[in-house]
Amino acid sequence: MPFYRVKMHAIAAKLHRDLPPTHLWSYGGSVPGVMFETLSGQGMLVEWANELPANHFLPIDHSLHGAGRELPEARSVVHLHGGKTPPEHDGYPEDWYSPGQSRIYHYPNQQDAALLWYHDHAMGINRLNIYAGLLGLHVIRDPQEQSLQLPKGPYEVPLVLFDRHLRPDGELSYPVSSDPDHPWISEVLGEVPLVNGKIFPYLEVEPRKYRFRVLNGANGRLYRLFFPEDVEVHQIGTDQGLLAAPVPIKKLLLSPAERADLIVDFSSHRGRRLVLADDAFELMEFRVGANPVVDPSAMPAALRAVQQIPESSAVNKRWLTLDDMNQGMSAAAPMAMMLNKTPWHMPITEKAVLGTTEIWELANLTDDVHPIHLHLVRFQILDRRPFSVSEYQRTGTLRYVRPVEPPDSNESGWKDTVRVNPQTVTRIIVPFEGYTGRYVWHCHNLEHEDNEMMRPYEVIAAVT
Ligand code: C2O
Ligand code: CU
């Protein structure tokens, strides 16, 4: 089995030609970190070595749960997002370790071809560690995907998106509240967009099809991606691999931690410069070659069979609320967000039996979008339905205010992260497969996750 050793360490990297180098924390020397690539079923061992400096360079909020002053500042633990990983190798938030220590994790990779990603998961500071640069990609391939003649080699390009605040000297800055004892703020939207760790980079492309593997690796930003010019884009895959069939895309909504597998056809744009944009800013430029090329790649009409899980197969249904909690006395005091009004440290309330399927009804009582992620499993989105939150909070009764909406067509495959819209019930259907043990589920807005919007859950063995 292949064995890799990856160092977490401080680096300085140029984010833009005109900026001095920026201090970052990296897995293996770059941000994003080293990229893994493997075949489905081909396991690997990774030694994650914490060689970070002793002190954090971003503002820790010691008032958050699990972030006390007595703890080592540069603690870290790695989670493979989307990985079907045994619990002791999954990067439980409290399994962090200090500089000078390392852990060897086993990734079986026994799952369909997909773009996974790994990132820090240390309790109470994970938003800062990821913001510092602790994230990277992990690609799994399989024979089904390889049979499709999709663009590959130089024509398959990962695009890791995140945004940051930068100081004029090029250093990272992480925003804080006005209360020095509680620097945490509920949302970080940077004004500088980066693609693969660069500010407005360009890519020279040939006039042909490309496959872009897009990750929203931002702390809190929802991206709405589009080409201002008329470029043909199809989405062929989502978090957990290929869709059943390509879906034409005009604007791609991607919340934190979601991935999209795209085929972009540049063949009718010879000699042009095309910008990839978001509603908030321009992200990067594609410079399309002038000379025609032969494109042997395909955009198949069918990608793989995605069996819809029947609702009748679920043995359990859970009603789980997403809540805002006002912790403080004054309106200016920080808020915490919670899952089912239950803080992290309370006993486990969600226990699913291995080999069974459950429906989770995620009822968002807040005015924010929360991207909800479950470790270990993949799931399908059943539907979304807006409801009256005020009535629910007053009387406890559920009154839907609009008709039920099916998932968007580009969400109709296997997912591991779901956008839960404000004042909406989002239902997912989840087969619990793989391993028994303790995992977590949480909001992937990292500021929310670090302030109580995360809960343990457990997969338990079936009683025979
Ligand atoms: Cu991206 Cu708990 O994970
Ligand atoms: Cu959230």
Q: What is the pLDDT of residues 74-112, one digit of tens each?
A: 999 999 999 999 999 999 999 999 999 999 999 999 999
79 alpha carbon – ligand 1 mean position (Å): 7
The pLDDT tens digits for 355-372 are 999 999 999 999 999 999
- pLDDT given for residue 117 in this prediction: 99
φ/ψ region of 250 (left if φ > 0, alpha if ψ in -120 to 50, else beta) reads alpha
Judged against a pLDDT cut of 80, whether residue 464 lies above it is answered with no
| Residue 442 Cα: closest atom of ligand 1 | 2
371 alpha carbon – ligand 2 mean position (Å): 6
Judged against a pLDDT cut of 80, whether residue 289 lies above it is answered with yes
- pLDDT given for residue 203 in this prediction: 98
Average pLDDT of 269-289?
98
**Is the pTM for the entire model greater than 0.85?**
yes
**Which residues have beta carbons under 5 A from ligand 2 (an ion)?**
370, 443, 445, 448
% of the chain with per-residue pLDDT over 70:
98
| Residue 121 Cα: closest atom of ligand 1 | 2
Tell me which residue has its CA closest to atom 1 in ligand 1.
81
φ/ψ region of 28 (left if φ > 0, alpha if ψ in -120 to 50, else beta) reads left
- pLDDT given for residue 329 in this prediction: 46
Mapping DSSP to helix (H, G, I), strand (E, B) and coil, where does residue 85 land?
coil
- pLDDT given for residue 336 in this prediction: 83
Place of tokens 């990983």: 85
Pairing of strands 357-364, 232-238: unpaired
Judged against a pLDDT cut of 80, whether residue 459 lies above it is answered with yes
Judged against a pLDDT cut of 90, whether residue 463 lies above it is answered with no
* Structure confidence at residue 334 as a pLDDT band (50, 70, 90): low
450 alpha carbon – ligand 1 mean position (Å): 11
DSSP string, 211-280: EEEEEE--SSPPEEEE-SS--EEEEEEETTEEEEEEEE-SSEEE-TT-EEEEEEE-TT-TT-EEEEEESS
The pLDDT tens digits for 104-139 are 999 999 999 999 999 999 999 999 999 999 999 999
* Averaged pLDDT of the chain: 96
451 alpha carbon – ligand 2 mean position (Å): 10
Average pLDDT of 39-48?
98
Which ligand lies nearest the alpha carbon of 446? 2
Judged against a pLDDT cut of 90, whether residue 335 lies above it is answered with no
| Residue 82 Cα: closest atom of ligand 1 | 1
455 alpha carbon – ligand 2 mean position (Å): 12
Angle at 448 between CA 387 and CA 456, to 5 degrees: 90
Nearest-angstrom CA–CA distance, 221 and 190: 8
The pLDDT tens digits for 166-215 are 999 999 999 999 999 999 999 999 999 999 999 999 999 999 999 999 99
- pLDDT given for residue 325 in this prediction: 81
Pair of tokens at residue 392: 């629910």
Judged against a pLDDT cut of 70, whether residue 328 lies above it is answered with no
39 alpha carbon – ligand 1 mean position (Å): 22
Average pLDDT of 296-303?
96
Nearest-angstrom CA–CA distance, 460 and 355: 9
Average pLDDT of 310-326?
95
| Residue 375 Cα: closest atom of ligand 1 | 2
| Residue 257 Cα: closest atom of ligand 1 | 1
Average pLDDT of 374-385?
98
Q: How far is CA 231 from the centre of its chain?
A: 26
Average pLDDT of 341-368?
97
% of the chain with per-residue pLDDT over 90:
97
336 alpha carbon – ligand 1 mean position (Å): 19
Q: What is the length of the chain?
A: 464
DSSP string, 338-378: EETTB-TTSPP--EEETT-EEEEEEEE-SSS-EEEEESS--
Tell me which residue has its CA closest to atom 3 in ligand 1.
81
Which ligand lies nearest the alpha carbon of 255? 2
* Structure confidence at residue 327 as a pLDDT band (50, 70, 90): low
* Structure confidence at residue 165 as a pLDDT band (50, 70, 90): very high
Whole-angstrom CA distances from 50 to 53, 97, 118, 289, 298 are: 9, 8, 15, 43, 43
- pLDDT given for residue 330 in this prediction: 45
Residues with CB under 6 A from ligand 1: 79, 81, 119, 121, 257, 373, 375, 440, 442, 444
- pLDDT given for residue 89 in this prediction: 98
